[in-house]
């Protein structure tokens, strides 16, 4: 009879420990998933904000320049700005790719360190 109640106490203790470990693992997984989602959102937001700022600056410069030049020069300037805009966008996309590669490397090194 004594060994049976001792066994019950040990089993109850084991169940409590397993529940606590399971909760800790669940919390760890949730934190990891939330960090991954947050990282993805931050990358997307950062890219959107970067493009938004670049477009705003380009528009401000365009308005200032157009106010100072003649109509004939405005046409020429329009073509130049179009070329500049396309090369600037290409540069932005190149930087976005480099930033995304950095994020992938950071995630990979993080998963290696957790292993």
Is residue 51 within 8 Å of residue 92, measured between CB atoms?
yes
* C-alpha span between 58 and 52 (Å, rounded): 10
Is residue 81 within 8 Å of residue 63, measured between CB atoms?
no
Query: What are the pLDDT digits (tens) for 60-103?
Result: 776 776 677 666 666 666 666 666 666 666 666 666 666 666 66
Residue whose structure tokens are 């931050």: 42
The total number of structural domains in the chain stands at 1
DSSP category for residue 24 = H
What's the confidence (pLDDT) of residue 48? 72
Which range marks the domain in which residue 92 is found?
2-114
The mean-pLDDT minimum among 12-26, 29-43, 70-84 falls in 70-84
The kind and range of the H/E element at 32 are helix 2-68
């Amino acid at each position: 009879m004594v060994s049976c109640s001792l066994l019950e106490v040990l089993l109850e203790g084991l169940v409590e420990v397993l529940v606590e470990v399971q909760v800790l693992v669940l919390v760890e997984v949730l934190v990891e998933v939330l960090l991954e989602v947050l990282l993805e959102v931050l990358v997307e937001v950062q890219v959107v904000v970067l493009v938004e700022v670049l477009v705003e600056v380009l528009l401000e410069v365009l308005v200032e320049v157009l106010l100072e030049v003649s109509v004939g020069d405005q046409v020429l300037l329009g073509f130049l700005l179009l070329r500049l805009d396309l090369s600037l966008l290409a540069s932005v996309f190149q930087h976005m790719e480099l930033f995304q590669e950095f994020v992938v490397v950071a995630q990979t090194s993080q998963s290696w360190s957790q292993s």
